[in-house]
Amino acid sequence: MTTRAAASSLRASGRAAQPLHHAMRALRKVPEVTVYFWIIKLLTTGMGETTSDYLVHQLDPLIAVALGGLGLAAALVLQFSVRRYVAWIYWVAVVMVAIFGTMAADALHIGLGIPYLVSTAFFAVALAVIFVAWYAREKTLSIHSIDTRPRELFYWATVMATFALGTAAGDMTAITLGLGYFSSGVLFAVVIAVPALAYRLWGLNAILAFWFAYIVTRPLGASFADWLGRSPHLGGLGLGTGPVSLGLALVIGVFVGYLTLTHEDRKDEQEGSAPVTT
């Protein structure tokens, strides 16, 4: 085959592959990882913490957990029923994971008396098991590969585990280690900078950096939300968990509405650019 013929064949192959490449991007069930992703994720962690606390103090704890479980189940059914990423559906599911994940972590400590150090270790092991099983089956942990049902199941199991782990870790530093909510928030604000710096300066694996940061957003957001909502004798500002939850919900709604209108979280799909490797 001549050089010209080979080049022509390569161009034809590339053109033929483009529709399939675009179709696979359209099947993704998660947003692009942009600054909006991290802002909303951080806000949901805080809302999950304060909403869980509000519900279990306003209702019978068993009823509150049951309602949280039903809300999570309904949100995930809706998320799994759509064929592509829809901003408001995805983020409603994340919010419900945040609320129920907080309840699950708190139930081990308050309901069963398990120390935060033990529950943190337990959820860390659970998350590791999910990662190992996910990679063993799919050979990737990339958020940009969530385009099949098994990967979507692994993804949401991972999200649930990260929220429970983050809740336990945040309470461990704030209560068990005695740092308090504000100091814990500052601690995790420093910790979350580690994967970003390691990725930029030393070439840390992008997928590892992503999940490291994803886990840390939970105790970071929850610590500051607790600081805002809890009473002063518990080390907070005393704004109340209800008002803080409502305020965070409104801000999340604004950001999700913006993404729904602008599709800033689907730029890769729209522009046909190469996917990010995280």
What local confidence, expressed as pLDDT, does residue 114 receive? 84
The DSSP string of 222-246 is HHHHHHHHS-GGGTS----HHHHHH
Output the average pLDDT for the chain.
Answer: 85
Question: What's the Cα-to-Cα distance from 68 to each of 52, 95, 128, 157, rounded to whole Å?
Answer: 8, 11, 25, 16
Residue 180 falls inside a structural domain = yes
- Here the tokens at position 102 are 């907080």
What is the number of structural domains in the chain? 1
Residue 248 falls inside a structural domain = yes
Task: For 152-173, write each residue's pLDDT tens digit.
Answer: 999 999 999 998 888 888 889 9
What local confidence, expressed as pLDDT, does residue 268 receive? 57
User: For 14-18, 84-88, 127-131, 254-258, which range has the lowest pLDDT when averaged over its residues?
Assistant: 14-18
Residue 23 falls inside a structural domain = no
Nearest C-alpha neighbor of 52 from the set 217, 171, 136: 171
Residue 38 falls inside a structural domain = yes
Q: How confident is the model at residue 108 (pLDDT cuts 50, 70, 90)?
A: confident
Number of Cβ within 10 Å of residue 178's Cβ equals: 10
| Alpha carbon 234 to chain centroid, angstroms | 27
Report angle CA 233, 234, 240 to the nearest 5 degrees: 95
What local confidence, expressed as pLDDT, does residue 102 receive? 85
**SS3 assignment, position 193:** helix
pTM score, whole prediction: 0.84
Residue 164 falls inside a structural domain = yes
Nearest C-alpha neighbor of 161 from the set 133, 188, 129: 129
Question: What is the span of the domain harbouring residue 253?
Answer: 32-271
Residue 210 falls inside a structural domain = yes
What local confidence, expressed as pLDDT, does residue 275 receive? 39
| Alpha carbon 83 to chain centroid, angstroms | 20
Amino acid at 11: R
Taking the CA atoms of residue 69, residue 75, residue 78 and residue 82 in that order, the dihedral angle to the nearest 10 degrees is -130
| Alpha carbon 187 to chain centroid, angstroms | 19
Nearest C-alpha neighbor of 248 from the set 25, 15, 24, 54: 54
- Range 29-53 average pLDDT: 93
Of 176 and 129, the one with more pLDDT: 129
Between CA 221 and CA 47 the distance in angstroms is 8
Residue 178 falls inside a structural domain = yes
